[in-house]
């Protein structure tokens, strides 16, 4: 569970002892903060020396050791590091241990390529979640969020996940160029990209009806202005999030009613 909170326990230790975390930061950052308070940031040479001293053992900032007269090149090369790391995701196998975000990030996300849903540690703390809160609050908040992320696996894109994977793996094969796709039973079939995937024909029909209801419902949600340029939601382009919102809240409400049923009485 600690691992799934996105907390690098091997580096920082457990949640009860933050000394190791403090030592980790103070070693590199305390000097930088002190020097920053002296307002050296306007002077390139002092700033450079300050950062080299504070980050001497940081491989990620090794480019700061470049000569001052190459500052523009150093800056440009430093800007390439993030894109280079990003492009690695297109070639490296997906890792379920790579959560992409900090444990202090207040959000949650579904990663179909990793078959995972992530709840950062910060999102499972007050004011967003607390076991001492009324459970209606927790179910409606974090429960709804959990349901939202699960339903993403069944929204207008989630129903195509298998198809996207098949197409990606076979994009250089003859089948990719002849409109042959893999159907719900795993066999090759001729179909349009938006009609393939893992759903059966009956499921696709039901999904299409449901999705159209959601699109129609949200198309009617408009800005309360009564005159001028009145803007309305685009139900078609937002259907993925809307389906996840509605499905997540419905699932959370049913789970809450089961909780009340088990408890034997309503909350006060």
**What's the pLDDT score for residue 52?**
55
Question: What is the domain range of residue 116?
Answer: 102-162+177-267
Q: Mean pLDDT lowest for which of 52-61, 80-89, 156-165, 220-229?
A: 52-61
Residue 261's pLDDT band (boundaries 50, 70, 90)?
very high
pLDDT at 36: 47
Predicted confidence band of residue 83 (pLDDT cuts 50, 70, 90):
low
187 in the same domain as 120:
yes
DSSP class of residue 163 equals H
What are the DSSP E strand ranges found in the chain? 109-111, 116-118, 180-182, 188-190
pLDDT of residue 50: 55
- Residue 227 C-beta-side C-alpha neighbours within 13 Å: 0
**pTM exceeds cut of 0.75:** no
Residue 1, pLDDT score: 33
Q: Looking at the 3D structure of the chain, how many domains does it have?
A: 2
What local confidence, expressed as pLDDT, does residue 176 receive? 38
Question: Is 84 part of any domain?
Answer: no
Q: What is the rounded distance in angstroms from the CA atom of residue 171 to the CA atom of residue 176?
A: 5
Residue 59 lies in a domain: yes
Task: Please tell me whether residues 126 and 250 are part of one structural domain.
Answer: yes
Q: Which of 15, 35, 63 is the last residue before a domain boundary?
A: 63
Residue 148: its pLDDT value, please?
A: 94
Q: Is 262 exposed, middle or buried (0-12, 13-18, 19+ CB in 10 A)?
A: exposed
pLDDT at residue 10 in the model:
53
What is the mean pLDDT of the segment spanning 32-50? Answer: 52
In this structure, the answer to whether residues 142 and 240 fall within a common structural domain is yes
- Place 22 in a pLDDT band, splitting at 50, 70 and 90: low
**pLDDT, the chain, mean:** 71
Active-site amino acid positions: 149, 245
Does residue 234 lie in a domain region?
Answer: yes
Whether 220 and 148 map to the same domain: the answer is yes
Residue 169 tokens, joined: 């793996």
Q: Are residues 156 and 27 in the same domain?
A: no
Q: Phi-psi category of 192—alpha, beta or left, where left has phi over 0 and alpha has psi -120 to 50?
A: beta
Q: For residue 123, what pLDDT band results from cuts at 50, 70 and 90?
A: confident
Tell me, what's the pLDDT at 178? 40
Is 134 within the bounds of a domain?
Answer: yes
CA–CA gap between residue 200 and residue 158 (Å, rounded): 14
Q: Which two tokens stand for residue 121?
A: 């540690």
- CATH number of the domain at 108, please: 3.40.390.10
Q: Say whether both 123 and 237 belong to one domain.
A: yes
End-to-end CA distance of the chain: 31
Query: Does any domain span residue 85?
Result: no
CA-CA distances (angstroms) from residue 16 to 2, 13, 20, 102?
12, 8, 11, 19
The verdict on residue 94 lying in a domain is: no
Q: Are residues 156 and 48 in the same domain?
A: no
Write down the pLDDT at residue 268: 81
Same domain, 225 and 147: yes
Find the mean pLDDT for residues 46-68.
49
In a domain, 169, yes or no: no
Please check whether residues 37 and 107 belong to one and the same domain. no
- Of 63, 92, 116, the last residue of a domain is 63
pLDDT at 64 over 60: no
Asked, for residue 80, whether it belongs to a domain, the answer is no
| Tens digits of residue pLDDT in 198-254 | 777 888 889 999 999 999 999 998 887 667 777 889 999 999 999 999 999 999 999
Q: Are residues 124 and 250 in the same domain?
A: yes
In a shared domain, residues 255 and 199: yes
pLDDT in tens, 175-185: 433 444 445 55
Q: Which residues pair with 109 in a beta bridge?
A: 118
Domain boundary among 12, 32, 63: 63
Tell me: do 43 and 137 sit in the same domain: no
| Residue 93 banded pLDDT, cuts 50, 70, 90 | confident
- pLDDT-based confidence at residue 75 (cuts at 50, 70, 90): low
């Amino acid at each position: 569970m600690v691992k799934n909170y996105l907390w690098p326990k091997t580096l920082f230790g457990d949640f009860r002892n933050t000394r190791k975390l403090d030592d980790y930061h103070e070693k590199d950052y305390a000097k930088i903060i002190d020097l920053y308070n002296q307002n050296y940031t306007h002077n390139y040479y002092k700033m450079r020396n300050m950062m080299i001293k504070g980050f001497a053992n940081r491989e990620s900032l090794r480019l700061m050791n470049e000569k001052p007269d190459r500052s523009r090149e150093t800056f440009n090369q430093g800007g390439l590091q993030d894109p280079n790391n990003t492009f690695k995701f297109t070639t490296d196998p997906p890792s379920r241990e790579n959560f992409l975000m900090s444990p202090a990030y207040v959000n949650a996300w579904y990663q179909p390529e990793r078959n995972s849903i992530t709840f950062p540690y910060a999102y499972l703390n007050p004011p967003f979640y607390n076991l001492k809160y009324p459970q209606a609050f927790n179910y409606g908040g974090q429960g709804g969020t959990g349901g939202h992320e699960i339903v993403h696996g069944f929204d207008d894109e989630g129903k195509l996940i298998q198809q996207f994977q098949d197409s990606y793996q076979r994009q250089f094969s003859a089948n990719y160029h002849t409109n042959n796709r893999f159907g719900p039973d795993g066999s090759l079939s001729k179909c349009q990209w938006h009609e393939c995937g893992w759903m059966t024909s009956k499921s696709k029909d039901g999904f299409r009806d449901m999705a159209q209801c959601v699109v129609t419902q949200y198309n009617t949600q408009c800005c309360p202005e009564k005159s001028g340029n009145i803007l309305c939601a685009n139900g078609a382009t937002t259907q993925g999030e809307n389906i996840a919102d509605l499905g997540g809240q419905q699932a959370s409400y049913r789970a809450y009613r089961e909780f009340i049923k088990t408890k034997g009485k309503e909350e006060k």
